[in-house]
Structure 1
Amino acid sequence: MTPERIFTGWDEPVTEQIRRRLIPEEPKGPVDLGRLLIVVPTRKAERRLRETLARYCARYSTALLSPHIVTPAYFIRTEQDAAESVAGTMAELAAWCEVLQKADLKDYPGLFPAAVAVQDSSWALRMADMLQQLRGKLVEGELSLNLVWEKHSAELNEAPRWKDLAHLETLYLQRLKQQGLEDSFESMRRRSLCVSAPEGVDRVVLAAIPDPAPLALRCLSALAEQLPIVVLVHAPASLADAFDAWGRPLTEYWSHAPIDIPEPEKNILLAGAPEAQAKAALRCLADGADRFKAGDAAIGVPDAALVPFLQAELEEQGLMAFDPAGQSLSDHPIAQFVEALASWYREESYAAFRSLLRHPDVLRYLCAQTRSSARVLLEELDVFQQQYLPASRETMRRHLQSEKRLVALDKAFGLVEIWLDDIDRNPVGEALTSILKQLYEDRRLNPLQPADKDFIDAAMSLNRRLKEFGTAQLEESGLGKAHALHLLVRCLHDERFYPDPFAGDIDLEGWLELAWNDAPFMILAGMNEGIVPDTRPSDIFLPNSLKKQLNLRHDDDRYARDVFLLAGLIESRRRNGRTVLLAGKTSASGDPLKPSRLLFHCSDDELPRRARRLFSDPPERKENYAPTISFKLDVRPPDQAPADVKRLRVTQFHDYLMCPFRFYLKHVLGMSDLSDLKVEMDDMEFGTMLHYALEKMGCDADMKVCREPEKLGAFLDVQLDAWVKGRYGSRPPLAVRIQVEAARQRLYAAAQVQAELVEEGWELVHQERRIEGSMCGMKITGTIDRIDRHVETGAWRILDYKTSDKAAHPSAKHWGAPADDDGRTYNRLLVGDKEKRWLDLQLPLYGIFCPDLPPDQVEFGYFNLPKAVSDTGITLWTPFEPEWMQSVRACAEGVIRDIQKRRYWPPAGRMIYDDYGSLFHAKIPECVKVDEFMAFMEGAP
């Protein structure tokens, strides 16, 4: 029976036009639509149609007996008959993995012309996923891999490949059959041959579905033999020749059909990056506020990459955005926990452990079990990683067993190790269920709370997947537990959950949903080529030409569909609404974008103007969000913290001279940047390692007078290895091993210099000499790396080891150009006829606090151990004028007095190396509560 086509016109949105066809007049009594089966394109369209029908009947205070409203998937859904054993995703992928791992790939040269590097479960899982995606595309056209080979082998350009694919599919289907399971795609094809309508239905309405898949049309064709079918087309009857019998737009007409955009100079907009598009969309909403109410507007988002930018911009303006596409289950904490646990089980790496421990639910659980706070646990994690740079579960366990300070972390690590043992001992599904119960057993849920409702939905989706572990026969497939967990995570990425919308939300709907949105004001963002029209990327198995050959939906079909849909969106709002089309110039990553070719379906006269406009620069070349300070930092010390400095190390003078405020953050508040992302020794640790070896040399009576570089080098070698083993164990990370070899080269060069110094008559008298004294009531401490004395002349040298990349001169480190006037004069001095500023006081202060050394016989210098070992050697600060020492003392006293008076303001400007740069995204005075801090400073004793 041929379906009856009815053209509804397109001067109103789809839902309103369909409502008129179903309830054409004012209802005088109950409306009975219960004998209708209405097929709509999507679940969201189903919801919108139900709402429209219910609202209309409620307007007339009449009852509605709702029709059956379904999507095309209704006829072939695999859950329709619970008695049948249709395989789930896990079972299917597991069966494929078994087939692929057991296959001799040499028997399939068409599919695998080159040898596969490793035919393991990881490769098999990737290949299985690819093959199932291919089969999913084929089933839409009533095909399988075998049917493509059987029906089209003579026409295929790559016949050997398809022959191999067909043979592997046969083995896969046989494996499922042995397990008593039916492939889901085969089930769909079988069901399409025996379609029936629900009991009591006497008519079918195909409502505005512009591109039903061939498999869906087979179902509808079978249904047409049983019941009358009406096809509602959202277009005027004058365009009847532009559609086929099922209401699909014909390519030959729509690929050239004009799209009449009213006031194109006003309704076609160009913006730059996604954030600029979001701002442009919000400006459009504001411009239309005098004509349209908040609930009358909708934003279409064909490009899903724009959604977060639009949500952020709407939220900034106090508007809530609702994404009807829902959220991927992988974005929910419960799925993220499973993914983190799977990574920990598979990798047993520190990075995986860190991610798992930092998961909010895991952190809460571990804090409760270890009776510690999140601050303590995370701080111990940072300290542990900074100290040991652990790479694996084994190295973590070894270091924690010998580390007595990190009690909470040690207990937490033990608890997380138990989870891995549970997975090893038990079936994966059972182990995961048990672990999840431990983690969430004390969580109380209120379904009326949005977050709890989302948790319930996510947990139910996860539970369904966990139940599949019982039927997927993963052990028999040869898929190890690590890859079984990976398979679960991959399946969770396919799951979605749908938060409930709130009143006043602005919908952000995808392209195929927009026809069913009846908002009179429609803004379409992301009108770019590749998005609209929907052009699929090239497929290695199914290029566009082969899709046409196999009668699958292809790019030309989607092009015709999208032209028709855009025309419908515009025409349905021409009289009482507005449609704005917004194209972007660049993607979020900066890649250039082309405007959609649909925007060029205009008259020949209009085409040049439109092209010039759309290919020109947007009004704003770049529009980023300005940095905003949502709250200012109160940087006063906590009540329990000491507010005043009682002692200073010699090296701390440098910090104050560079920036008083940063000195305060570092040495008064004790703020330091701890990160557990470190992969190698930092500069300080690298220097400490070299200092350790050199100190051991200075403590050895034989070595410090040794004149043989080779012997000295061998000694330093041993000390270096001892330090590394004590710190990182016998198997340090690769990055550390590389650094150790670099240090070894520097120490060999240092051994050569040390032997030469001994030959010249220099004696290493002190190493790591502690100094202590007082200045202006402040206790001063420090450690001098080495003090040498010449055995003949009696001259002295105070030397500091420098392990930076480049050799340094003491004057360059201690002096700098004068800075802007900050009210401090004690840091200024004249060097010849040039004014300089003290940046550091380290070496001369060492001299001041070594009264046992004759001042007129002391030289200051660096023992440089740079990356370029040819530059290794002593660099002396000569001449060092005696009057400079008075300037040093005056500067040190000035620093001390300022610290005692709490003078930590104003801060220095930008610094090349700023430990606190991440705290201050704008100027420091804009980021802190200055008045409160000034009051703190004025309260100095």
Structure 2
Amino acid sequence: MDTLPIEVWTYGDAELFDSWGRPLTEFWNQRALDFEGWNCQLKASPEPKAAATEVAAMTTNAKPESILIGLADSDLAPLLADELTRKNIPHYDPEGTPLHLGGIGRLTELLCQLSQEANIANVRTLLQHPDCFAYIQASDSQPHLLRKLDQCFERHLCADLDALIQFTDDARLRGALKALKSLQYSIKQAKHFSQGLSNALKDIYADVEIDTGESSKPWRERAEAVRQLLAEVATAEDTFPKLSTDLARSLVLQGLRKAKVHPDRPRQAHDLLGWLELLWNDAPQLVLMGLNEGKVPESVIGDAFLPETMRALFGLRTNEQRFARDAYLMEAICRRRTGERGQVDILVPQKAADGSPVKPSRLLFLGSADTLLPRTRTLFAQSDTNEPPTDYSIPWKLSPPPGLPLPERISVSALKSYLECPFRFFLRHIMHMRPIDLESREMSPAAFGTLLHAILAELKGLSIDSQTKPSDLIAKLHAIAENEIEHKFGRELSFALRLQKEAILARIQAYVERQIEDVRTNGSIQILHTESKFSAKLEGIELRGVIDRIDQRGDRIELTDYKTADSPKSPEKAHLAPLARKEPPAHLPEEAFFEHGNKRYRWIDLQLPLYVYSQLEAGKERPRVAYINLAKTLEKSEIAPWEDFTQSHVDSAIACAEALIRQIKAGVFWPPNPDLREDYDDFAPLFPDGIENSVKAEAFQNYQFTKTNDMAESL
């Protein structure tokens, strides 16, 4: 038999390696690493962002051949890439970009999700993809179409694409949704999932002209990667005819995440190399980031089928061997830059990319007894700043858009919002900002109350006396409720909506029993009007409101307002707050305070007094006011009159409303109320660092409206 001599060359002393040049575990697991003697600088960073900022600072104005950037933790690559991009430092990640993160790869992933579940989130995300939006050929702009989609969902809580098509009243949105429905149908009707997905992609890109030049090269590379992936899945489907659609879809989704595309390397770019590639680069300076336990050395822990002892018996790589390999790489990387040949900067974050705490690598503690304590102090050093590190930063303070029109009309409920907080009033009623929840499958408290109001509005013209049968009135209102709910949400209700439907029916029954009890005690009523609109001029602005119910009881008018809270307040407590030791909100004018019964209060709502003001007639008795509390149980349901309501309440409320309108016209929307609970504040997520630290206060202290009202809207 012929023999061939083999020479094994090692970068280090021969006795530290076996005959094949592999690091010997018994030596390297105990070998001291002399970072101090090798010109290595160890530094702890409180968080990955701080480490990325320091890497960018070291790399600025440095040539790629003079400095090497190493990433022991690949999860930090996007964070570092973002920081380098912000500093305009060219860089390149040889690992590539996952196929599913952009372009046709992302569209393929979204079509997989659409074929599995056409919920509102998937539909909305598909419409946001530029290629899909071009395919549906919508005449509306993308933001406008998405806004109409959100509004349709908010009104009807549409569970899927079919419900959206059913309930939308906009022809252009319906056309866009039907185009998505046709894509879903083409995927589901194909013999194999891969074939259906391929057909859907062909339909989307059928009329797209693809440039053959360099500008379209990234798109062509992604398209080719998707084509190869679908061909592989098609082969699997042909080989295994009983392969389920769910499994085929899973194969595509996994393939999209595993496949990588590699864009062209920019000129003079710094490569972001992984741990195992660092030894082969000879740049004199190395900046190594992310040397944390679990990343280097890499460990396999808790494998049920191949524990460490069995891996050693089979000759497979063990954790000890990985540790020895990484210890060798660490020494080799550092020693080639010892002395005047270069330097090594090792930045060790104390947190991972997701914010969880992490430990320094065990490699960093391989040293003599004299070096262990100083290294430990360095690697676990506290941040220089006393403030806790944050994962976000505010690059500028927000300002309101200039020259918004002064509103010509204002609602009673908007005045309540201003009493609560003028800044949030500006966001909600001047800029018309409001949150839209695309995840909820049940009515919000406001929508629940609005639906109940709409049902009870059908009582207009009804007379109720002691002879009225509760069962008849309950049956009538229940039938109205059934029709309203079916018209708004369809026949197929989610579990949450079915529960809310039962809650509405229960509240109606409790209300009827309380209403019959009231007329038997206080006399019959005739419901003259429901949802009665009114308007009045105050300080040159039209004040508007809607009175839930106007009743005639004998010779007197009663104004009532429905409340659906489970623990309702009395009218007095809902409108007036006693002054406590704590200072009231600083934005309130003097007119917002009211003395009554030897006590001083501040107005927190002007609703019922303004209702009375709108219905005052000369020579007639002032209307009475009350709440009808529509709680879910009979015990909490009640008709709560405002017993000590007087004309002084009306006069004070009008003076307060006029003062508030003067402040609104003067552009006074500061300071914000600091006492609002975060869970009741719709705008809290916009200001994680606090409103005062996020916006320009002076811009809201004297906001300048436009002089003309041509574009004015009502509040």
> Structure 1-normalised TM-score?
0.68
Q: Label 1:752 to 1:295 Cα distance change in 2 as closer, same or farther (>3 A).
A: farther
Tell me what 1:552 maps to.
316
Q: Which amino acid aligns with 1:785?
A: D
Query: CA separation in 2, counterparts of 1:704 and 1:415?
Result: 56
Q: Which amino acid aligns with 1:807?
A: P
Query: CA separation in 2, counterparts of 1:429 and 1:710?
Result: 59
**Larger deviation, residues 730-739 vs 295-304:** 295-304
Matches within 5 A, 1:574-653: 574-575=338-339, 576-615=341-380, 617=382, 619=384, 622-625=388-391, 627-630=393-396, 632-636=398-402, 643-653=405-415
User: Per-residue CA shift, 1:585-641, capped at 9, x if unaligned?
Assistant: 333445432221111110123224434544564555842256324574552357xxx
Matches within 5 A, 1:652-671: 652-671=414-433
Tell me what 1:890 maps to.
655
Q: Label 1:242 to 1:731 Cα distance change in 2 as closer, same or farther (>3 A).
A: same
User: Per-residue CA shift, 1:828-866, capped at 9, x if unaligned?
Assistant: 333455543323211001111112497765332322224
Query: CA separation in 2, counterparts of 1:264 and 1:829?
Result: 77
SS in 2 for 1:306: helix
Q: Label 1:310 to 1:868 Cα distance change in 2 as closer, same or farther (>3 A).
A: farther
Q: Highest CA radius of gyration, 1 or 2?
A: 1
Tell me what 2:627 maps to.
862
2:448 to 670, 678, 686: 686
Q: Structure 2, unaligned stretches of length 5 or more?
A: 710-715
Matches within 5 A, 1:24-103: none
Query: CA separation in 1, counterparts of 2:257 and 2:59?
Result: 34
Q: Structure 1, unaligned stretches of length 5 or more?
A: 2-224
Matched, 1:302 2:72: yes
Q: Which amino acid aligns with 2:138?
A: T
Tell me what 1:334 maps to.
104
Q: Which amino acid aligns with 1:352?
A: N
User: Per-residue CA shift, 1:780-829, capped at 9, x if unaligned?
Assistant: 332211234544xx555322111134211323332345645448333333
Tell me what 1:208 maps to.
none
Query: CA separation in 2, counterparts of 1:647 and 1:821?
Result: 25
Q: Is the 8 A contact 1:632 1:929 kept in 2?
A: no
Measured after TM superposition, the shift of residue 755 of structure 1 is 1.8
SS in 1 for 2:655: helix
2:254 to 490, 503, 519: 490
Tell me what 1:565 maps to.
329
Q: Is the 8 A contact 1:660 1:903 kept in 2?
A: no
SS in 2 for 1:871: coil
Q: Label 1:240 to 1:914 Cα distance change in 2 as closer, same or farther (>3 A).
A: same
Matched, 1:905 2:669: yes
SS in 1 for 2:560: strand
Query: CA separation in 2, counterparts of 1:938 and 1:693?
Result: 41
Q: Label 1:504 to 1:806 Cα distance change in 2 as closer, same or farther (>3 A).
A: farther
Point out which structure has higher relative CO (alpha carbons under 8 A, 6+ apart): 2
Tell me what 1:379 maps to.
147
Measured after TM superposition, the shift of residue 718 of structure 1 is 2.6
Matched, 1:879 2:647: no
Q: Label 1:500 to 1:935 Cα distance change in 2 as closer, same or farther (>3 A).
A: same
Q: Label 1:809 to 1:321 Cα distance change in 2 as closer, same or farther (>3 A).
A: farther
SS in 1 for 2:220: helix
Q: Label 1:822 to 1:455 Cα distance change in 2 as closer, same or farther (>3 A).
A: same
Q: Label 1:889 to 1:477 Cα distance change in 2 as closer, same or farther (>3 A).
A: same
Query: CA separation in 2, counterparts of 1:285 and 1:867?
Result: 65
Q: Is the 8 A contact 2:194 2:248 kept in 1?
A: no
RMSD between superposed Cα atoms in Å: 3.3
Query: CA separation in 2, counterparts of 1:240 and 1:265?
Result: 24
Tell me what 2:713 maps to.
none
Tell me what 2:544 maps to.
781
SS in 1 for 2:394: coil
Query: CA separation in 1, counterparts of 2:601 and 2:212?
Result: 68
Matched, 1:847 2:612: yes
Q: Label 1:240 to 1:925 Cα distance change in 2 as closer, same or farther (>3 A).
A: closer
Q: Is the 8 A contact 2:587 2:671 kept in 1?
A: no
Q: Is the 8 A contact 1:524 1:579 kept in 2?
A: yes
Q: Label 1:471 to 1:313 Cα distance change in 2 as closer, same or farther (>3 A).
A: closer
SS in 2 for 1:679: coil
Matches within 5 A, 1:219-234: 229-234=6-11
Query: CA separation in 1, counterparts of 2:403 and 2:135?
Result: 31
SS in 2 for 1:651: helix
Query: CA separation in 2, counterparts of 1:244 and 1:855?
Result: 108
Measured after TM superposition, the shift of residue 552 of structure 1 is 1.1
Tell me what 2:15 maps to.
241
Query: CA separation in 1, counterparts of 2:396 and 2:155?
Result: 35
Q: Label 1:529 to 1:869 Cα distance change in 2 as closer, same or farther (>3 A).
A: farther
Q: Which amino acid aligns with 1:247?
A: G
Tell me what 1:360 maps to.
130
SS in 2 for 1:370: coil
Measured after TM superposition, the shift of residue 690 of structure 1 is 1.5
**Larger deviation, residues 619-628 vs 455-464:** 619-628
**Larger deviation, residues 670-679 vs 328-337:** 670-679
Tell me what 2:712 maps to.
none
The percent identity for this pair of structures is 29
Measured after TM superposition, the shift of residue 470 of structure 1 is 4.5
Query: CA separation in 2, counterparts of 1:617 and 1:226?
Result: 61
Measured after TM superposition, the shift of residue 257 of structure 1 is 1.3
Measured after TM superposition, the shift of residue 909 of structure 1 is 4.0
Q: Label 1:881 to 1:588 Cα distance change in 2 as closer, same or farther (>3 A).
A: farther
Measured after TM superposition, the shift of residue 710 of structure 1 is 4.6
Measured after TM superposition, the shift of residue 478 of structure 1 is 1.0
Query: CA separation in 2, counterparts of 1:708 and 1:616?
Result: 78
User: Per-residue CA shift, 1:298-353, capped at 9, x if unaligned?
Assistant: 33221122223323333444434432211111212211111111111122333332
Query: CA separation in 2, counterparts of 1:854 and 1:515?
Result: 98
Matched, 1:461 2:225: yes
Q: Which amino acid aligns with 1:358?
A: Q
Q: Label 1:705 to 1:343 Cα distance change in 2 as closer, same or farther (>3 A).
A: farther
SS in 2 for 1:732: coil
Q: Label 1:532 to 1:379 Cα distance change in 2 as closer, same or farther (>3 A).
A: same
Q: Label 1:819 to 1:349 Cα distance change in 2 as closer, same or farther (>3 A).
A: same
Q: Is the 8 A contact 2:157 2:489 kept in 1?
A: yes
Query: CA separation in 2, counterparts of 1:426 and 1:226?
Result: 57
Q: Is the 8 A contact 1:707 1:759 kept in 2?
A: no
Q: Is the 8 A contact 2:292 2:359 kept in 1?
A: yes
Q: Label 1:837 to 1:507 Cα distance change in 2 as closer, same or farther (>3 A).
A: farther
Q: Label 1:932 to 1:658 Cα distance change in 2 as closer, same or farther (>3 A).
A: closer
2:160 to 392, 396, 402: 392
Query: CA separation in 2, counterparts of 1:929 and 1:609?
Result: 48
Matched, 1:408 2:172: yes
**Larger deviation, residues 796-805 vs 277-286:** 277-286
Q: Label 1:354 to 1:464 Cα distance change in 2 as closer, same or farther (>3 A).
A: same
Query: CA separation in 2, counterparts of 1:504 and 1:806?
Result: 67
Query: CA separation in 2, counterparts of 1:411 and 1:845?
Result: 45
- How many residues are matched? 695
Q: Is the 8 A contact 2:668 2:700 kept in 1?
A: no
Q: Is the 8 A contact 1:302 1:525 kept in 2?
A: yes
Q: Label 1:435 to 1:512 Cα distance change in 2 as closer, same or farther (>3 A).
A: same
Q: Label 1:261 to 1:284 Cα distance change in 2 as closer, same or farther (>3 A).
A: farther
Tell me what 1:838 maps to.
603
Q: Is the 8 A contact 2:120 2:438 kept in 1?
A: no
1:723 to 480, 484, 491: 484
Q: Label 1:553 to 1:855 Cα distance change in 2 as closer, same or farther (>3 A).
A: farther
Tell me what 2:32 maps to.
258
Q: Which amino acid aligns with 1:846?
A: Y
Q: Which amino acid aligns with 2:455?
A: A
Matches within 5 A, 1:2-13: none
Q: Is the 8 A contact 1:658 1:839 kept in 2?
A: yes
SS in 1 for 2:705: helix
Q: Is the 8 A contact 1:634 1:932 kept in 2?
A: yes
Matches within 5 A, 1:105-124: none
SS in 1 for 2:442: coil
